[in-house]
Amino acid sequence: MFNFPKAKLGDVTAITISSPDLEKSLRYYQQLGFAEVQRMDFPFPWIQISDDALLIMLRQDKNPYIALTYYTQFIAMDKVISELESAGIKFSSKPKKVDMVKKYLFQSPDNWNISIVSNIEDIFNQPSGPTMLNMPQEDYFKPEKYVNKVCGLYGEFAHPVTDLSKSISFWEKLGFKALSKHSSPYPWAIISDGLAIVGLHQTKDFSVPTITFFASDMKNKIEKLKQQGLNNFSEKNDCNIVLTTPEQQKINLFKLGM
């Protein structure tokens, strides 16, 4: 496990994904061990889901969109934004004064979306279950301790990047630290601010942000999903597959090696 200071961008983090059909997406994620947390029609229809470790915000929108989202207390919003601007962050979208929900949007060096949203009345909460960030490493190979019994242990929100060093420098401005860096099979690193876990991969092996789960018994988990009618996936081998959700989000299910 790792110790980090309080995250700079907010108190709660989620992956926001647009969906043209919220109910269809919800049914799919339920097959993967997620449950509905809450839903609302303001400021647009959305359903929040979680497997007790990872929080996902599904928002009704026919236009493809994915972002790493932070929810920030309203009274802390101005301070967070001011510090980011002082660090050289340029926002591509800012809220209007009349907006009840304040949302700021900016991009990483590889044009992946990062958003900061006001957490009005603290309606959003961080899941308390273990991820690879806060689970003791000796428990990685104990599937009975995974909160998601279907997919396994949430490992990272993987991003392809063109320049690993440049990307790490950018994320450090946001309060992230590199937990590990590797050169094989290509340059990559795992970074975190204590809330989000981001994988930076300098590769062309994949081209979109991808949610990644690991499990020591992943082969068995994949077989169960297939038996339950799982489809629309690419198979790297019998222990590693890449799912494509109804809204076209990619999800890696990878075997955790010794």
Chain segment 223-245, per-residue pLDDT in tens: 999 999 988 898 877 789 999 99
Per residue in 1-36, pLDDT tens?
566 667 999 999 999 999 999 999 999 999 999 999
pLDDT for residue 231: 85
Vertex 213: Cα angle to 144 and 191 (nearest 5):
115
Instruction: List Cβ neighbours of 54 (8 Å cut-off, separation of 6 or more).
Output: 15, 127, 131, 148, 154, 211
Tell me phi and psi for residue 65, to 5 degrees: -160, 135
Residues paired with 253 in a beta bridge = 213, 241
Cβ atoms of 190 and 198 within 8 Å: the answer is yes
The pLDDT of residue 5: 61
Nearest to 69 by CA among 118, 136, 138: 118
Q: Which of 136, 140, 138, 166 is nearest to 152 (CA)?
A: 140
Distance CA 85, CA 72 (A): 16
DSSP, collapsed to helix, strand or coil, labels residue 220 as: helix
Sketch out the chain's domains with CATH numbers: 12-121 (3.10.180.10), 137-255 (3.10.180.10)
- Regarding beta strands 240-244 and 250-255, do their DSSP bridges make them parallel or antiparallel, or are they unpaired? antiparallel
Exposure of 174 in the CB half-sphere (CA atoms within 13 A):
29
Rounded Cα distance, 197 and 13, in Å? 10
Largest CA distance in the chain: 54
Mean pLDDT by 10 residues, the chain (258 residues): 76 97 97 97 95 98 96 94 97 94 96 95 93 91 96 97 97 95 96 96 95 96 93 84 95 88
Amino acid at 21: D
Q: 143: cis peptide before it, omega within 30°?
A: no
Residue 112 pLDDT: 96
Q: Quick one: tokens of 13? A: 């983090």
DSSP tag of 98 = T
The pTM of the full predicted model, rounded to 2 decimals, is 0.95
Nearest in space to 58 (alpha carbons), one of 231, 247, 244, 209: 247
What is the C-alpha separation between 98 and 96, in angstroms, rounded?
Answer: 5
Nearby residues of 257 by Cβ (< 8 Å), 6 or more positions away: none
In this structure, what token pair is assigned to residue 203? 């590769």
Rounded distance, CA 61 to CA 17, Å? 9
pLDDT of residue 258: 56
